[in-house]
Structure 1
């Protein structure tokens, strides 16, 4: 006699997808703020910097689209993101299970910095 099938519990891959989505959402916010700031500065060629950051925005949006497809395939759906004083909390549904993902701002900042440096093809470990 076989037991009735049940929804598999959330896996590390599901958490990785949520983390990646949260980091990219934060990165888009950073890029948007930086583009607005660049537009107000007295730079000789602001369009070059703005175009570069806009290109990264487009790449991040494409990555987020891919992540959303993976999430849909795995039965993962973000329900709510709450930005709090010490971090960001994401509630999501994973194959019927309500889950919570929490990231401290210090960790989030480092993850966003790593992601941005990857898009800029920079190694943060190298000295200036």
Structure 2
């Protein structure tokens, strides 16, 4: 679940739901890209795989898709005069502070929802099934270690 905290300035134009969705996508894509990049490094250095190049190619392709989506989100943020000032994470979740046409606010996403959406998107970028019941079962077994 995402929560927003808005600090009103003199701007009469508040941030829209679409713009909040862009902030959310920015956060998710940033984390997803970093996870895929890290996974590629770990696979290549682990020495555990007989054919690491196949797995690196798969994960690297997903990282490129996430990167392209992130570039598009950044273009859209710029066109809407929306700037992400800071991104922080703690034991509760991820927080972004943003400025949109002079309007300052925060978007907070708790870890359970953030992880769930990350897994769905990551599965899509990897070309895997995105059945939500499958993802929720996987969440019980695997916790993503995330850090920027």
> If the length of structure 2 is used for normalisation, what is the TM-score?
0.76
Please point out which of 18, 31, 41 is paired with 1:13: 18
Q: What is the rounded CA distance, in whole Å, between the counterparts of 1:49 and 1:100 in structure 2?
A: 37
Report the TM-score, using the length of structure 1 for normalisation. 0.88
Supply the distance in 2 between the matched residues of 1:124 and 1:76 (Cα, whole angstroms): 30
Runs of 4+ in 1 over 6 A off after TM superposition: none
1:33 to 21, 33, 38: 38
Higher relative contact order structure (alpha carbons within 8 Å, sequence separation ≥ 6):
2
1:59 CA displacement? 1.4
Greater CA radius of gyration, 1 or 2?
A: 1
Matched-pair contact (CA < 8 Å) for 1:92–1:98: yes
- The correspondence of residues 106-117 of structure 1 with structure 2, limited to 5 A, is 106-117=112-123
Q: Which runs of 5+ in 1 are unaligned?
A: 1-5
Distance 1:57 1:32 in 2: 7
Displacement of 1:18:
0.4
Gaps of 5+ in 2: 1-10, 135-148
Kindly indicate whether the alpha-carbon contact (under 8 Å) linking 1:7 and 1:96 is maintained by their aligned counterparts in 2.
Answer: no
